[in-house]
Amino acid sequence: MKKADVWQGTLALMALKTIETLGPLHGYGIARRIEQTSGDLLALNYGTLYPALLKLEQEGSIESEWGLSENNRKAKFYKLTRAGRKQLEKEASDWAQTTEILARFLAPGENPL
């Protein structure tokens, strides 16, 4: 099965949720976890992940610090901030509402149009 690209607007949410769940992680760890969680159905492009992490850091949702990865390589580790927890809560709620609305359109025989 062909891997899908990450949907527009969901990468930040998946990254925040991954960091919330697993604690401080480096970019490669975040990418691997997102792919694993998707059942390897998503293909994560590192050219989109790192700019997304930078944007989240600039917005104050995550903080980073240098450390050593599992294989003793220097890596930047990202952790959630208080603002990031609030953003995650809001985005998760918004996404749940969006998928609920879309499900109404896709449910056979239940469309009131």
Q: Which two tokens stand for residue 50?
A: 């790192």
Give domain status of residue 113, yes or no: no
Question: Helix, strand or coil for residue 62?
Answer: strand
Residues with Cβ within 8 Å of 110's Cβ and at least 6 positions away in sequence, in order, are 104
Question: Helix, strand or coil for residue 69?
Answer: coil
Give domain status of residue 112, yes or no: no
**What's 30's domain CATH number?**
1.10.10.10
Give domain status of residue 57, yes or no: yes
Mean predicted confidence (pLDDT) in 53-67: 96
Nearest Cα to Cα of residue 88 among 19, 33, 16, 18: 16
Mean predicted confidence (pLDDT) in 104-110: 80
Give domain status of residue 62, yes or no: yes
Mean predicted confidence (pLDDT) in 19-33: 95
| pLDDT of 62 over the 80 cut | yes
- The predicted structure's pLDDT at residue 9: 73
How many independent structural domains does the chain possess?
1
- The predicted structure's pLDDT at residue 19: 98
Give domain status of residue 96, yes or no: yes
Whole-model pTM?
0.85
CA distance 39 to 23: 21
- The predicted structure's pLDDT at residue 47: 85
Structural domain for 10, as ranges: 4-106
CA distance 3 to 109: 30
| pLDDT of 111 over the 60 cut | no
